[in-house]
Amino acid sequence: MSSFWQTLPQPILALAPMDGVSDAPFRQVQAEIGRPDVVFTEFTNVEGLWRGDVRLLDAFLYDETERPVVAQIFGSTPPDFYRSAIMVCELGFDGVDINMGCPSKCVTGHGGGAALIREPRLAQEIVRATKQGVEDWANGQTLEGIGLAPQRIARIRQMNQERQTPIERRRLPVTVKTRLGYDSIIIEDWVKILLEVEPVVISIHGRTLRQMYTGSANWEAIGRAAAIIRQTPTLALGNGDIHTAEDARRRILETGVHGVLVGRASMGNPWLFRDLRAMRADLLTANAAETAAAPAPVTRPTSQERLRTAMRHTRLFTRLLPNHRFVELRKHLSWYCRDFFEAALLRRQLVQANSLEEVERLIEMGLSEQQPRQEAGD
């Protein structure tokens, strides 16, 4: 099946899904400044989408500037994946991604995330159910037809109206994000199992579940899996320990992946994707020897850019997520405050802020403090 994935330039540079981080305000800032090739939402529980608090749908808020944007879902019950796929389609996303990599006990304890590595037949059934949901929606299935509660239907239609974008009935690509294994590296056997159900993309985080996020990502193992995947129409993306454009270039050249997912390094640093796109331009225009020798670009935003971006992020948060606790934003403000004079002091103040007005006051003070220092250095 042809999809937007086949139209993206390679190597693909994607913003990874991150629980508690990659919400709508975060993704919009990344899209405005860095312009990743594709972004993923935070992962959302398929059972919760069906039966839980309707506010879970806030995870699926997005803006047209983010496209292509992919909704990530997790769980362990194929019928819930079927219904969630139809909800994702109805919301106008560009793709649906199945999380088979989260190592959190609250996810794996219920059979979802990386626990599916130990349940290969169930994992395949989940992919098939998701693809069937996509297919049925493209052929006319409705939210009413799957028995979705009226309150959820109303919220989905409200979200679509607010975006003012017509929803086209089309077959969304289904992708999978996973890990090298559960307690040992079995990625070569595991990707062969996944390839039997033909996901459009397999993204691989270079650690096992047991490793969580400790140690170093094993890109050699990712490369072995990529070699298998490259024999098929499926695309392989690598993930883990990509801190700079130089890291991304090295891993792409070493492993032959079709692209990379970048996660934690983008926190408070949407400028990273500018470097990544410049790196890709070098890869596409230079020969291998020149590319290996030339240093990858590094963007160093000014303190004013950092603070104004923090302000923009705060305003998006208060507008898009008015019912969410302000404390959810504080970590983002902390990440923006680094590498400039008195950043530590301002960070301590911002992580105690409780309103947009308080953040605006603190950042205006920070901007006025930074301006004379910049002028003095000119």
pLDDT category at 52 given cuts 50, 70, 90 is: confident
Q: Is 308 contained in some domain?
A: yes
Percent of the chain predicted with pLDDT > 70: 94
Rg (CA), the chain: 21
Asked if 112 contacts 102 with a C-beta cutoff of 8 angstroms, the reply is: yes
298 in a structural domain: no
More confident residue, 346 or 23: 23
Indicate the range of 108-122, 193-207, 229-243, 329-343 predicted with least confidence: 329-343
Judge whether 13 and 277 are in contact, CB under 8 Å. Answer: yes
pLDDT in the model for residue 378: 41
Of 81, 89, 95, nearest to 127 by C-alpha is 81
Average pLDDT over residues 229-234: 97
> Structurally, how many domains does the chain consist of?
2
Token pair listed for 23: 């919400």
Mean pLDDT of 50-69: 92
pLDDT at 326 over 80: yes
Structure tokens at 79: 């019928």
| Average pLDDT, rounded, for the chain | 92
- Concatenate the DSSP letters of all residues of 27-40 into one string: HHHHHHHT--SEEE
The CATH number of whichever domain residue 108 belongs to comes to 3.20.20.70
Show which of 293, 327, 344 is a domain's final residue: 293
Helices (H), the chain: 24-33, 46-51, 78-90, 105-108, 120-138, 150-163, 187-195, 219-229, 245-255, 272-285, 288-293, 303-320, 327-336, 343-350, 356-377
Q: Per residue in 163-203, pLDDT tens?
A: 988 888 999 999 999 999 999 999 999 999 999 999 999 99
Shared domain for 287 and 334, answered yes or no, is no
For residue 1, the model assigns a pLDDT of 54
Could you read off the pLDDT of 90-101 as tens digits, one per residue? 999 999 999 999
- For residues 289 and 321, state if they share a domain: no
| Predicted local distance difference test score (pLDDT) of residue 287 | 59
Q: Supply the pLDDT for residue 375.
A: 45
The per-residue pLDDT for range 244-294, each reduced to its tens digit, is 999 999 999 999 999 999 999 999 999 999 999 999 998 888 655 555 556
Q: Are residues 262 and 311 in the same domain?
A: no
Do 182 and 267 belong together in one domain? yes
CB atoms within 10 A of CB 330: 17
Instruction: With respect to residue 281, please indicate whether it lies within any of the assigned structural domains.
Output: yes
Q: What is the pLDDT of residue 5?
A: 97
Task: Specify whether 181 is located in the same domain as 63.
Answer: yes
Whose CA is closest to 342, among 363, 360, 361, 366?
366
Check whether residue 135 and residue 279 sit in a common domain: yes
Q: Is the same domain home to 213 and 318?
A: no
Residue 2 has pLDDT above 90, yes or no: no
Residues 109-126 have pLDDT tens digits of: 999 999 999 999 999 999
Per-residue pLDDT band at 51 (split at 50, 70, 90): confident
CA distance linking residue 267 with residue 276, whole number of Å? 15
> What CATH number should be reported for the domain holding residue 308?
1.20.120
Peptide bond into 11 cis (omega under 30): yes
Q: Is the pLDDT of residue 213 over 60?
A: yes
Helix (H, G, I), strand (E, B) or coil at 52: coil
What tokens were used for 107? 């996810």
Closest CA to 195 of 234, 248, 143, 156: 234
Q: Give the domain range for residue 50.
A: 4-293
Short-list 320, 317, 307, 313, CA closest to 349: 307
Question: Where is average pLDDT lowest: 220-229, 260-269, 290-299, 311-320?
Answer: 290-299
